[in-house]
Chains A and B, each alone.
Chain A
């Protein structure tokens, strides 16, 4: 019995410890955020990496999400003559859910994994120790700019994704499925609130925090050489994605 408890308890203890370490990383990141020097250039560099360089993949994802959504809902709504609601359904889904979540997932795959890999490599090749020996705090120099960049850039990527998704939905709905364009847009304006967009953007910022925090955490806690880096990268993507979905539920429950 005791052995069973030990067996069951060990992963639980590990999980709690892991959560604790992630929170500690977050706390020290926040505390380093307010201490000079403020590395604006490093933050900009990360913003470019997280934001600008992800825009194409996010736009493609957003556009096709909107398009497939229009296609799917059209067939559903046509059964009771509700084709006019396709536009607002696409817009509402994009702004509230699919825009933030899909953007976050794409950025996790592209950026979160890169963060884990980059910091992991730096850890195993002692570059992080080197930073320390040069009196540069690695959290301030490496983690904080990444987290700030992700928190700032995810909402921007999301609004682009929202827009492109709605445009994609419009293209499919109006040009291919011949829904009246006036009604398509009027229904969007009628049903979608500004709050839907803003809440989606707040979500996106949270997701940005999650994916960058997990990516950095997995990176700087990497052990075991190149193999360890690979492991850290995979774990960061899986853990970030899962946490994004879980937190999405709770954020939705709180906001809408």
Chain B
């Protein structure tokens, strides 16, 4: 489904990704963990084509997106939904308008149909009576939920999460984790989450990939990773816990 083949990327001669390879299984939650500033966001932005690699290929459903022009890239992107770190809701629109935005852009639907989808998606992420509120009136957790509702509005096959639990209190973190798992079960979409939160990772992941110094150093199920005897992996987990 998503194949990342030997991609490298440098910013100002500093290598952020270094010949990185990763296969992401369809219909599963894959969590990429790594330290803050370790290139996780950069990797995620590569997958959706926001950043182009210096070398290497990213293949989405058999299409190499690294050299596509804008028009074709936009077609590929319609398969994606993405939840940004601070939800990236449009400040100038209400929550309802935010969720309706991708529908208005890409679907020819009546206002009534759109409103119905918006309500469905907001219910799915556990939000009620916020349709006419502005994003600034919501708490951080609610914004994330609204952002997720927007990300899944077009029923994408792939949903990307950029640090979904960062900046939330422990209770909220737990509820977001539950939401991610529940949403994935309902939508059966491929979820790619990047995180530095080791607890959440073990809660939600079907598969964990460790990113260290521009490379994926270990891939496995949460249990495999947890019970790994590899000293490097153990230290890595310990570092993240601290």
**In the complex they form, do A and B come into direct contact, defined as C-beta atoms under 8 angstroms apart?**
yes
Residues of A within 8 A of B (CB): 37, 118, 121-122, 125-127, 129-130, 132-137
In chain B, positions 68-102 with a C-beta closer than 8 Å to chain A are 70, 74-75, 77-78, 80-82, 84-86, 88-92, 101-102
- Cα distance, A133 to B158, chains bound together (Å): 12
B52 → chain A closest CB, angstroms: 12
B105: chain A residues within 8 A (beta carbon): 37, 134-136
Is there an interface contact between A137 and B82, defined as CB atoms closer than 8 Å? no
Q: Does B48 contact A (CB under 8 A)?
A: yes
B120 → chain A closest CB, angstroms: 18
B168: chain A residues within 8 A (beta carbon): none
25 contacts between A and B (CB under 8 A): A37-B105, A122-B90, A122-B91, A125-B86, A125-B88, A125-B91, A127-B91, A129-B50, A129-B84, A129-B88, A130-B82, A130-B84, A130-B90, A132-B48, A132-B49, A132-B50, A133-B50, A133-B82, A133-B160, A134-B102, A135-B78, A135-B102, A136-B105, A137-B70, A137-B74
Q: Does B45 contact A (CB under 8 A)?
A: yes
Is there an interface contact between B84 and A135, defined as CB atoms closer than 8 Å? no
Interface residue tally for chain B (C-beta within 8 Å): 26
Find the A residue at minimum CB distance from B48: A133
Is there an interface contact between A132 and B84, defined as CB atoms closer than 8 Å? no
- Cα distance, A110 to B45, chains bound together (Å): 34
Is there an interface contact between A127 and B45, defined as CB atoms closer than 8 Å? no
- Cα distance, A225 to B238, chains bound together (Å): 31
Q: Does B106 contact A (CB under 8 A)?
A: yes
- Cα distance, A127 to B78, chains bound together (Å): 17
A46 → chain B closest CB, angstroms: 11
Is there an interface contact between B77 and A135, defined as CB atoms closer than 8 Å? yes
Find the A residue at minimum CB distance from B102: A134
Is there an interface contact between A129 and B45, defined as CB atoms closer than 8 Å? yes
Is there an interface contact between A121 and B91, defined as CB atoms closer than 8 Å? yes
A133: chain B residues within 8 A (beta carbon): 48, 50, 77, 80-82, 160
Closest 8 CB pairs of A and B: A135-B74, A130-B88, A126-B88, A133-B82, A126-B84, A135-B77, A134-B102, A127-B88
B82: chain A residues within 8 A (beta carbon): 130, 133
- Cα distance, A125 to B86, chains bound together (Å): 7
Find the B residue at minimum CB distance from A28: B70
Q: Which of A118, A122, A126, A134 is close to B77, meaning CB atoms less than 8 Å apart?
A: A134
A124 → chain B closest CB, angstroms: 9
B92: chain A residues within 8 A (beta carbon): 118
- Cα distance, A121 to B106, chains bound together (Å): 25
Is there an interface contact between A132 and B77, defined as CB atoms closer than 8 Å? yes
- Cα distance, A122 to B87, chains bound together (Å): 12
In chain B, positions 119-136 with a C-beta closer than 8 Å to chain A are none
